[in-house]
Amino acid sequence: MKNVIQRAVPLAPLTSFELGGPAEYFLRAESERDVVAGLRWAKRRGVPVRILGGGSNLVIPDEGVGGLVVQMATRGRELKMDGDLAELTVAAGESWDPLVAWLTGQDLVGFECLSGIPGSVGATPIQNVGAYGHEVADSLIWVRVLDRETLEDRLLTSRDCDFGYRDSRFKRDLDRFVVLSVRFALRRGAVPEIRYAELERAVAERAETKRTEGSAPTASEVREIVIGLRKRKSMVFDPDDENRRCAGSFFTNPIIEAADADRVVRDAVERGLVSAPSEVPRYAAGDGKSKLAAGWLIERAGLCKGTRRGAFGISSKHALALVHHGGGQTRDLMAFAEEVQGAVRERFGVELHREPTLWA
């Protein structure tokens, strides 16, 4: 094992919330051999293992965590072209957004709508990371994983991953596999597919400003627009931003039965929250279900942007982001999250579900 296992390593600096206690044992794995050696070490001692990526979608308890934390720091990219078609294989420890910048700079289309998202490549299939109408599952060919029990490599196809909205087989069974690398399919010079109304408006506005109406945007142009939209919501890391200590969206947009969504809309009209049903953000989600906007529900439940509860609050730019303003504890973050969930439940009868993983 190239790197040694350390004791009592602080984890807060390795997460975007900057919260939580130390790891009992810690290994920075810069190679796949390090990962295997770490798992063997933990197995001999009978201690649990947790895998740490970029720490951008993670909540650490105040007391820290027992067992071994393996930080994935593996690196490597391999791009193979066949005409305009590309297959890209990336190590799990690579950072996501620099990868997207590199690809869009080569006019490779597929990830431009996922620009500005923090974290590591290995975490993207676990969460099925998505934004602006696109998600990682759209481009994924396979995930190469390490089976924790057998310590053997396996290739899991996109179908094997059982992807859902911000969900996957990996997320439902976090202790089964370690993601080692991911292969994606991209296309050079293709027209980026715009599926999200907010992004469509921004693309149209840019075209009108530049007097290029009717011409399709490039991958780099879409990336630039997406970064701009995310910055306005404090969704791109900026060390000077008061909202920087967060995990992005803290709750997923609830997917509920269409009949329940009808009830929410009627209730919003009757309470005077909107003047017409069309003003309630609602999207078809298939199988007789509808997706509602969690941020909209939070604000209409009385918790507006900038709400503060001591060291925590709602982002001043985006109602879906819970923010740590410094000096807080994880228990207070979770209490505030429960307050937000309770307010939405009481007002609309809708349950919000946490998006970040809590290491308990």
Note if 24 is an active site residue.
no
| Six-digit token string for 36 | 């295997």
- In the set 77, 148, 154, 166, the catalytic residue is 166
CA distances from 194 to 98, 286, 290 (A): 22, 20, 21
Note if 249 is an active site residue.
yes
Question: 96-104 and 219-232 are packed helices; what angle lies between their axes, rounded to 10 degrees?
Answer: 140
CA distances from 101 to 106, 126, 183, 215 (A): 9, 21, 17, 22
CA atoms in the 13 A half-sphere facing the CB of 43: 11
Element (H, E) at 102: helix 96-104
- In the set 115, 120, 249, 315, the catalytic residue is 249
CA distances from 192 to 88, 186, 188, 209 (A): 18, 11, 10, 19
| Six-digit token string for 304 | 């507006």
Note if 220 is an active site residue.
no
The DSSP string of 204-241 is HHHHHHTT-TTSPPPHHHHHHHHHHHHHHTT-S--TT-
Rounded Cα distance, 232 and 149, in Å: 44
Angle 125-129-131 from CA coordinates, rounded to 5°:
155
74 Cβ neighbours under 8 A, 6+ residues apart? 29, 30, 31, 32, 35, 91, 92, 93, 94, 180, 181
Closest CA to 231 of 202, 197, 195: 202
270 Cβ neighbours under 8 A, 6+ residues apart? none
Rounded Cα distance, 305 and 296, in Å: 11
Helix (H, G, I), strand (E, B) or coil at 190: coil
- Give catalytic residue positions: 166, 249, 355
